[in-house]
């Protein structure tokens, strides 16, 4: 920690700070500058108590942490890029993986028609919500276990792997039984008990970024997964909340190079949530691929107008097939397959 003292303080005030630093287990190192005196507090910030409360002392101007707070997810700790294998599909490797499917699982007919169509177009993983976190209690909340069973059936029929959202600790075993990847949604991205429960299943975890999560907080939420014994973590950017209202969220594509720099875990982009508008999905997929995303998560529905949730952001089967074609040159340009 670095502690910056205010100018014009008394020697006694300075001594009090030094004593407090020692009391909390750090070794103080004083550095007298031109305009300010700065104290380096030497000691491991991850095992010692925070010194940030010193900011409230009248003689202290600011307190600045020096160490990164995340460890296991960091590239510093694990130089090589991690890959995650899901039913033979490697995420984070040379091949760009596409996860596609409806926002919500609605009916067998709906799911099967999407599953076959996205497989044919080149997707390798089927997405579909069985439990849905909805802003209003009066909206469709998902089919629950019945939806999980339909996903399993679609997997048997198509060979696609399955990703679905877990939104309650109480469903952990059930969801883990049916899915290949557990998705943690944006609203639960700092629901740490849910993260721990999910991590302990051993299944790969796709962790969406919360609507107002800083990159550092997202990495630390990921740290909950790895520190609970599960190394199969995928980060998924799906748009953050800003003042802009044209799009539902603002897709922060800078997350791709940033996660790649800070972490060894793969990065997935969800342009459907990111834009909230089907007409922007294609362009955003191209950007994501060009910037180096490891996988895409795309919502596809046989009839978006009649969808039971989030119709405006779902692609029709045709549009999805066309998108997969259009992505080819960008995938090649990015040196991917």
What residues from 46 to 105 belong to the interface with a second copy (CB under 8 A)?
Answer: 46, 49-50, 52-57, 61, 64, 66-71, 76
157, 173, 177, 216: which one binds a second copy (CB under 8 A): 216
Nearer to a second copy, 160 or 253 (CB): 253
154, 224, 266, 295: which one binds a second copy (CB under 8 A): 224
Nearer to a second copy, 54 or 86 (CB): 54
Long-range CB pairs of 76-85, under 8 A, 24+ apart, other chains included: 77/264, 78/264, 79/264, 80/264, 81/260, 81/264, 81/266, 82/231, 82/233, 82/264, 82/265, 82/266, 83/266, 84/204, 84/232, 84/233, 84/234, 84/266
CB–CB of 70/219 below 8 Å?
yes
- Of residues 115 through 134, those in contact with a second copy by CB under 8 A are 133-134
Three-class secondary structure of residue 153 per DSSP: helix
CB–CB of 289/334 below 8 Å?
yes
- Of residues 230 through 249, those in contact with a second copy by CB under 8 A are 240-247
CB–CB of 248/276 below 8 Å?
yes
Give residues with Cβ within 8 angstroms of 19, minimum separation 6.
none
SS3 breakdown of the chain: % helix, strand, coil, rounded to 5? 40, 20, 40
Provide, rounded to whole angstroms, the least separation between the CB of residue 324 and a second copy: 14
Nearer to a second copy, 160 or 220 (CB): 220
Residue with tokens 């095992």: 47
The interface mask with a second copy, positions 131-170, x = CB under 8 A, is: --xxxxxx----------------------------xxxx
Provide, rounded to whole angstroms, the least separation between the CB of residue 289 and a second copy: 7
Provide, rounded to whole angstroms, the least separation between the CB of residue 269 and a second copy: 10
- What sections of 92-137 are H helices per DSSP? 108-121
CB–CB of 209/255 below 8 Å?
yes
Task: Give me 186's structure tokens.
Answer: 């944006």
- Of residues 268 through 327, those in contact with a second copy by CB under 8 A are 274-275, 277-280, 283-284, 286-292, 304-308, 311-312, 314
Judged by CB under 8 A, the stretch of 28-36, 101-109, 122-130, 150-158 that binds a second copy is: 28-36
15, 22, 42, 318: which one binds a second copy (CB under 8 A): 42
Q: How far apart are CA 122 and CA 26, in angstroms?
A: 56
18, 152, 174, 258: which one binds a second copy (CB under 8 A): 258
- Of residues 180 through 209, those in contact with a second copy by CB under 8 A are 187-188, 190-194
257 binds a second copy (CB under 8 A): yes
């Amino acid at each position: 920690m670095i502690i910056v003292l205010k100018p014009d303080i008394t020697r006694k005030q300075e001594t009090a700070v030094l004593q407090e630093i020692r009391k909390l287990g750090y070794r103080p190192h004083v550095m007298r500058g031109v305009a300010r005196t700065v104290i380096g507090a030497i000691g491991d910030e991850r095992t010692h108590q925070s010194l940030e409360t010193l900011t409230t002392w009248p003689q202290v101007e600011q307190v600045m942490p020096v160490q990164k707070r995340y460890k296991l997810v960091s590239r510093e700790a694990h130089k090589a890029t991690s890959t995650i294998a899901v039913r033979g599909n490697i995420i984070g490797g040379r091949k760009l993986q596409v996860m596609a499917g409806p926002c919500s699982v609605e009916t067998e007919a709906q799911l099967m028609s999407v599953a076959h169509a996205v497989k044919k177009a080149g997707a390798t993983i089927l997405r579909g919500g069985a439990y849905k976190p909805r802003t209003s209690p009066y909206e469709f909340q998902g089919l629950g276990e019945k939806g999980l069973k339909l996903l399993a059936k679609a997997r048997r029929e198509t060979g696609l792997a399955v990703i679905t959202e877990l939104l309650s600790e109480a469903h952990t075993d059930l969801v883990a039984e049916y899915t290949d990847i557990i998705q943690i949604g944006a609203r639960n991205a700092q629901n740490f008990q849910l993260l721990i429960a999910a991590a302990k299943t051993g299944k790969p975890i796709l962790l969406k970024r919360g609507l107002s999560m800083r990159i550092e907080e997202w990495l630390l939420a990921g740290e909950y997964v790895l520190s609970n014994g599960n190394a199969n973590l995928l980060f998924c950017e799906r748009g953050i909340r800003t003042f802009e209202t044209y799009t539902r969220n603002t897709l922060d594509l800078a997350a791709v190079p940033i996660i790649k720099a800070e972490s060894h875990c793969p990065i997935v982009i969800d342009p459907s949530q990111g834009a909230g508008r089907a007409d922007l999905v294609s362009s955003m997929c191209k950007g994501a691929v060009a910037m180096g995303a490891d996988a895409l998560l795309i919502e596809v529905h046989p009839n978006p107008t009649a969808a039971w949730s989030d119709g405006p952001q779902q692609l029709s089967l045709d549009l999805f097939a066309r998108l997969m074609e259009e992505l080819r040159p960008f995938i090649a340009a990015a040196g991917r397959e």
